[in-house]
């Protein structure tokens, strides 16, 4: 962990962290401006919602991004990041310094919805999705297991039909 001796040291550390994140957010905003300003009319690129994902993020990043029309997801799981990449067609990059317009994917509609006590982020209207998520809900675990088995059997039948032609 990080250790500091005084409150002033802690504040200095927090200020440095905020400055670091602010610089990263500004790089992303500049890329957004560059892509939108250079998009020809009719391509569907002007004004589309931007999606920024971070595995380890801070509230400051989310607030800065939200103020400029960029949706930031906090603490996204690795598997969900991989699925998102397949769905929208983007590429994962480790640094905003490496971010180029070619790394960006596309989603026509991104929104958050609460189902029960859980919040889910829905990403729809992707141009060429290669990933999909099915949400299964039931009154008990037994029913959910039966639904999962039925879906698995149906998908296996479709797969076998495609393979067997």
Quick: pLDDT tens for 66-120: 556 667 676 778 888 888 899 988 888 878 888 888 888 888 888 888 988 888 8
Q: Within 13 Å and on the Cβ side, how many CA atoms surround 88?
A: 26
Please give the average per-residue pLDDT across 6-10, as a whole number.
Answer: 89
pLDDT at 124 over 80: yes
**What whole-number distance in Å separates Cα of residue 14 and Cα of residue 16?**
5
- Which pLDDT belongs to residue 44? 45
Residues in the chain: 165
Q: What is the pTM of this model?
A: 0.66
Token pair, residue 16, equals: 């440095």
């Amino acid at each position: 962990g990080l250790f500091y001796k005084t409150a002033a040291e802690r504040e200095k550390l927090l200020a440095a962290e905020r400055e670091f994140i602010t610089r990263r957010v500004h790089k992303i905003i500049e890329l957004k401006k560059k892509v939108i300003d250079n998009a020809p009319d009719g391509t569907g690129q002007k004004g589309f919602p931007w999606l920024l994902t971070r595995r380890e993020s801070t509230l400051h990043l989310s607030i800065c991004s939200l103020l400029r029309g960029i949706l930031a997801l906090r603490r996204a799981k690795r598997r969900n990041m991989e699925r998102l990449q397949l769905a929208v067609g983007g590429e994962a990059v480790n640094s905003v310094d490496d971010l180029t317009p070619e790394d960006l994917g596309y989603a026509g509609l991104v929104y958050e919805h609460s189902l029960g006590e859980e919040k889910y982020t829905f990403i729809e209207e992707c141009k060429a999705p290669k990933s999909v998520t099915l949400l299964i809900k039931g009154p008990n675990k037994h029913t959910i297991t039966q639904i999962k088995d039925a879906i698995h059997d149906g998908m296996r039948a479709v797969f076998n039909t495609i393979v067997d032609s």
